[in-house]
């Protein structure tokens, strides 16, 4: 008897498909309610998949994509160290001064800076670095921070879509589909630049043209000394050195036969070495312990749990079934399938977390390889990425970065409310999906 047959029997005679789907639906339902921390729910769901006999432990571990986990963890360590150098604050203040603290110019610059940082860092880190500077500058200019925080949210989700490392869905997609850093850059960055520019047009007409700051208040911002933001010049040099190496590594990864997970982890270890090599053993432990403490473990364990839950329904055949159903609905028409994935991903990601959605869709798209050519499958990955990442802009709960900005705004006495945000953001998000649709049509369909 094969081990797989043995586990099927272990589930009290119930069909594994039914058992695994029940655990999957329950897990996702509890995640959506947000009553219990998502990482705990995902890990409980993963445990149940194994206890119920859908997977054995070896199969569960096999389902965990360690390339994704290493890439995420490695980048989190690098960012945790780098942000202490004050370099991000330096760039934001510099950007404000380049446009002479003109309110509309400032909005454009902060959006562009946020989009660029988001492309290289995770979105939550980016907004945590940019939003406080935004609040300070708008405070000094005595203008409402709302349009700026709104634009920072949009820019972080848009910018994050453009690279392999910009947004967790891309990390998962790239890892599962074997798409490289350059693949993402060449296929997504062009449309992202257009989406970013076009998003600023309605923002200009709604808020931008009415923004005004007095000459004295602008002079106050011009008097900011961005050099003072650099709190640790040695740290800055070390961090920039490692970041340049790591990004070069991502760009060259494919041709040197390495995976991004290895590169990010190695970069993290190298930066840790540079930080502690001249310290006593006890100080080393202390510094490294505190850096590791800044890794977003909730996200990492959430991923681990989800990978196992998805591996469970995949093994039971549910995702294969779903892929066949989608192909059946779209009549096997490639264009319809690509658009369906783009639009459904966008609408769903605007209300639920895009990470579990993408984790589920990856095996679904993989099982479509019997219907479509590898070239077509690659286009489906871009549809999934654009839909899932840009969709996060649709509502305040669409992405973690949105909630982080809303949280900061709330504590700063400038609350961003769910409904007013959605009334503006949802149509804008749909606009970005229309642009993506045109792009897919022109380039791939």
Partner 1 sequence: MTLRAVTLLPEPTCLSPDTSLLDALRRMLDKGVNHLPVCDGGVWAGLVDINDILYELLPVSARVDHGLKDLRFVGDGIPLLASHFKELANKPVREVVHHDLPTLDEDTPLLEAALLLHRHVAPLPVLDADGKFKGMLSRRTLLKHLIRTTGY
Residues that bind partner 1 (CB under 8 A): 89, 93, 128, 132-136, 139-140, 142, 216-217, 220, 223-229, 231, 408, 411-414
Q: What is the closest distance, in whole angstroms, from the C-beta atom of residue 97 to partner 1 in the complex? A: 11
Task: Provide the minimum distance between the beta carbon of 412 and partner 1 in the complex, in angstroms, as a whole number.
Answer: 4
Of the pair 128, 295, the CB lying nearest partner 1 is at 128
End-to-end CA distance of the chain: 47
Q: Tell me how far, at minimum, the Cβ of 419 lies from partner 1, in Å.
A: 23
What are the b/e assignments for 285-303, b being 16+ CB within 10 Å?
Answer: eeebeebeeebbeebbbbb
Least distance to partner 1, CB of residue 229, Å = 5
The nearest distance, CB 135 to partner 1, in angstroms, is 4
Q: How far is CA 361 from CA 161, 170, 305, in A?
A: 17, 12, 16
Which of residues 335 and 414 has its CB atom nearest to partner 1 in the complex? 414
Query: CB within 8 A of 46, min separation 6: which ones?
Result: 60, 304, 305, 306, 307, 308, 309, 312
Based on CB atoms, which residue is closest to partner 1, 62 or 97? Answer: 97
Residue nearer to partner 1 on the CB measure, 415 or 427: 415
Considering the complex, state which of residue 110 and residue 304 has its C-beta at the smaller distance from partner 1: 110
Q: Smallest gap, in angstroms, from Cβ of residue 134 to partner 1?
A: 8
Degrees (nearest 5) of the Cα angle 397, 90, 167? 30
Taking each helix axis from N to C terminus, what angle separates 168-177 and 66-82, rounded to the nearest 10 degrees?
A: 140
User: Of the two residues 100 and 142, which places its CB atom closer to partner 1 in the complex?
Assistant: 142
Task: Estimate the crossing angle of helix 146-160 against helix 103-120, to 10 degrees.
Answer: 30
User: Closest CB to partner 1 among 100 and 227?
Assistant: 227
Using alpha carbons, list the distances in angstroms from residue 143 to 65, 100, 116, 131, 424.
46, 15, 25, 15, 20
- At its nearest, how many Å lie between partner 1 and the CB of residue 223? 5
Q: For residues 249 and 267, is the Cβ–Cβ distance under 8 A?
A: yes
Minimum CB separation of residue 123 from partner 1 in Å reads 14
Closer of 8 and 89 to partner 1 (Cβ):
89
Three-class HEC string of 280-346: CHHHHHHHHHHHHHCCCHHHHHHHHHHHHHHHHHHHCCHHHHHHHHHHHHCCCCHHHHHHHHHHHHH
């Amino acid at each position: 008897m094969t081990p797989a047959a043995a586990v099927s029997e272990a589930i009290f005679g119930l069909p594994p498909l039914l058992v695994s789907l029940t655990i999957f639906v329950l897990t996702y339902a509890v995640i959506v309610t947000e009553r219990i921390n998502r990482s705990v729910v995902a890990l409980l769901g993963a445990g149940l998949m194994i206890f119920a006999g859908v997977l054995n432990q070896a199969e569960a571990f096999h389902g965990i994509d360690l390339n994704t986990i290493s890439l995420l963890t490695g980048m989190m360590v690098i960012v945790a160290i780098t942000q202490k150098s004050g370099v991000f604050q330096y760039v934001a203040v510099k950007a404000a001064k380049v446009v002479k603290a003109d309110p509309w110019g400032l909005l454009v610059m902060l959006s562009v800076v946020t989009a660029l940082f988001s492309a290289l860092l995770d979105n939550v880190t980016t907004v945590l670095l940019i939003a406080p500077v935004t609040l300070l500058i708008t405070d000094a200019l005595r203008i409402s921070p709302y349009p700026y925080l709104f634009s920072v949210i949009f820019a972080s989700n848009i910018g994050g879509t453009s690279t392999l490392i910009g947004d967790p869905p891309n990390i998962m997609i790239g890892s599962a589909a074997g798409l490289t850093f350059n693949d993402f850059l060449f296929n997504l960055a062009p449309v992202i630049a257009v989406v970013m520019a076009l998003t600023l047009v309605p923002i200009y007409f709604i808020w931008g043209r009415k923004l005004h700051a007095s000459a004295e208040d602008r002079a106050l911002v011009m008097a900011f000394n961005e050099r003072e933001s650099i709190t640790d010049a040695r740290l800055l040099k070390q961090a920039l050195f490692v970041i340049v190496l790591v990004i070069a590594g991502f760009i060259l990864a494919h041709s040197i036969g390495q995976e991004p997970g290895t590169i990010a982890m190695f970069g993290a270890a190298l930066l840790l070495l540079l930080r502690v090599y001249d310290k006593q053993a006890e100080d080393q432990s202390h510094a490294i312990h505190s850096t590791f403490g800044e890794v977003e473990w909730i996200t990492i364990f959430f991923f681990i749990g989800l990978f196992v839950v998805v591996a469970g329904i995949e093994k039971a055949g549910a995702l294969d079934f779903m892929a066949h159903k989608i192909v059946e609905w779209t009549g096997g028409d490639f264009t319809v399938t690509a658009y369906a994935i783009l639009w459904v991903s966008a609408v769903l990601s605007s209300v639920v977390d895009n990470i579990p959605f993408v984790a589920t869709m990856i095996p679904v798209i993989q099982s479509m390889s019997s219907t479509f050519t590898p070239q077509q499958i690659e286009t489906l990955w871009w549809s999934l990425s654009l839909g899932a990442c840009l969709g996060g802009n649709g509502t305040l709960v669409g992405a973690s970065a949105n909630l982080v900005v809303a949280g900061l705004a709330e504590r700063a006495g400038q609350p961003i409310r769910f409904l007013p945000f959605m009334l503006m953001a949802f149509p804008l998000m749909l606009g970005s999906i229309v642009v993506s649709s045109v792009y897919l049509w022109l380039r791939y369909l």
